[in-house]
Chain A
Amino acid sequence: MADLDVEDLELHRRLSDGERDAFDELYRRYAPTAYGLAYRLTGQQILAQDVVHDAFMALWRAPEAYDPARGGFRTFFLSLVHHRAVDTVRREERMRKRTERAANLEPVVGEDVAEGVVDLAAIGERRREVREALTTLPAEQRQVLEMAYFDGKTQAAIADELGIPLGTVKTRTLAAMRKLRRALYRED
């Protein structure tokens, strides 16, 4: 991943100089992941498109928002996408219940949803590592993590939905994050 990080940094530098080729390359690298994440959260193509659109436009308009001293570009950009997707979900929920949207979930792809997406080798490898790390989590930890991350739910909402104390949600979340930290960052 180190090479990928270095390449991302250079692409970001070129994008900051106004090079559209660099923008296109970052789009090619991260748009499928961003769109998949946004769709997983919002459940609607149009909303997912808006999330990805807004994230890339924000990157183009204000590239200085990414500070290399604070971490990798991938972390910055995918966090930006996630934040916008969660924000979108929460706004949508105020207009109608999530279940209603789920009932109208638009068919977007066939059974193999990843078909047609060709990851860079390094991204494909990281995708496998992340998924493998998730499988090592106890079910109850993975559940609260996924409800927060992929459903955009607050810990309080998760506690209500599962009928467990808020403190338990917090404890499970932290335990899950620590396990992932050890797995993904090779910490002891």
Chain B
Amino acid sequence: MTEPHDEIEELLAGYVLRGLSGPDAARADALLSDHVPTCAACRDSLTRFQGITAELAFAADPLPPPDLLLTRLHRELRPRSRRQGPARIFAVAAGFIVVAGLTGLTVSQGMRAGGLQERANHLSSMLDLASRPDAEVTSLAGTGSPAPLTEISAPGTEVFYLFGRDVPPPPAGQVYRVWLVAGDASTPVGEFRPDDGLVAIRLAFDPTRYDEILITVEPEASEPGDPADVVWRAAS
């Protein structure tokens, strides 16, 4: 493997098969966030590989699903209607425009990073997601009651937002660190500090590959090891 694109294709092949873990998974996430969107060859490879993994479904013997399954689905199908997102989120969002973003899995350097327009775009995207009829808005579990952070997600997307206000600052010399957990493996994906208590973080990752999002308090600029002081957690 001397050609960079061979190495990337190797990772993309493993990625579409759900076969990556540890550093390979983190590397693939970074590539998907940074390189692939700007590389036509890689986008084409990814599309082709995704097509292949879908077609491999045909290699399994088809089975007639139980009749009750369609009945169950029919019972649960309801006309779709627009749902208002959580009033708390909209109310707060209307009053603030400062948004911190983790673009893909790249570490955000703080609430002040990025231009105003970029922050506004993050906020707009978060509100779009929160206003989807199938949006799932759940409080993170952890210390303090009620938890100051909310997770916003929706089925079928690979974008998550962590949103909060009145988030206490970490102790002096420390930061909040975000981790994605898959089984026994934890991958650090970024750090943040609340800006006047406000946090709005965008995470882009494949939720089928991770079980949990953890927020820990860590010494600033420390080398990530294993998550230790967990303050909040949420299922991905």
Neighbouring B residues of A45 by C-beta, 8 Å: 66
Q: How far is the CB of B76 from chain A (nearest CB, A)?
A: 6
Kindly report which residue of chain A lies nearest to residue B66, judged by CB atoms.
Answer: A49
Q: Is the CB of B19 within 8 A of A62?
A: no
Contact with A along B67-95 (1 / 0, CB 8 A): 00110111011011000000000000000
Tally of contacts, chain A with chain B, CB under 8 A: 194
Neighbouring A residues of B157 by C-beta, 8 Å: 62, 65
Give Cα A73–Cα B194 distance, bound, in whole angstroms: 41
Neighbouring B residues of A86 by C-beta, 8 Å: 18, 208
Select A27's contact among B17, B21, B53, B70, beta carbons within 8 Å. B70
Neighbouring A residues of B208 by C-beta, 8 Å: 83-84, 86-87
Neighbouring A residues of B62 by C-beta, 8 Å: 32-33, 35-36, 113-114, 117, 119, 127
Neighbouring B residues of A180 by C-beta, 8 Å: 52, 56
Kindly report which residue of chain A lies nearest to residue B22, judged by CB atoms.
Answer: A156
Given A45-B66, A70-B47, A86-B208: A33 touches B60 (CB 8 Å cut-off): yes
Neighbouring A residues of B54 by C-beta, 8 Å: 74-79, 82
Neighbouring B residues of A155 by C-beta, 8 Å: 14, 19-21, 24
Q: Is the CB of A174 within 8 A of B13?
A: yes
Q: How far is the CB of B7 from chain A (nearest CB, A)?
A: 9
Q: Is the CB of A156 within 8 A of B21?
A: yes
Give Cα A49–Cα B132 distance, bound, in whole angstroms: 26
A171 at the interface (CB under 8 A from B): yes
Neighbouring B residues of A185 by C-beta, 8 Å: 48, 51
Q: Which of A's residues lie within 8 Å of B, judged by CB? A: 18, 20, 23-24, 27, 31-37, 39-40, 45, 48-49, 52-53, 56-62, 65-66, 70-72, 74-84, 86-87, 90-91, 94, 108-109, 113-114, 116-117, 119, 123, 126-127, 130-131, 134, 145, 148-150, 152-158, 170-171, 173-174, 177-178, 180-181, 184-185
Known: A32-B62, A60-B80, A154-B20. 18 other contacts (CB 8 A): A35-B69, A37-B57, A53-B69, A60-B73, A61-B155, A62-B133, A65-B154, A75-B51, A82-B53, A82-B54, A91-B211, A114-B61, A123-B58, A145-B17, A149-B17, A154-B18, A178-B9, A181-B48
Q: Which of B's residues lie within 8 Å of A, judged by CB? A: 1, 6, 9-10, 13-14, 16-22, 24, 47-66, 69-70, 72-74, 76-77, 79-80, 132-134, 154-157, 183, 206, 208-209, 211
14 contacts between A and B (CB under 8 A): A36-B57, A58-B156, A71-B51, A75-B55, A86-B208, A113-B63, A117-B63, A134-B56, A148-B17, A152-B18, A154-B21, A155-B14, A155-B20, A174-B6
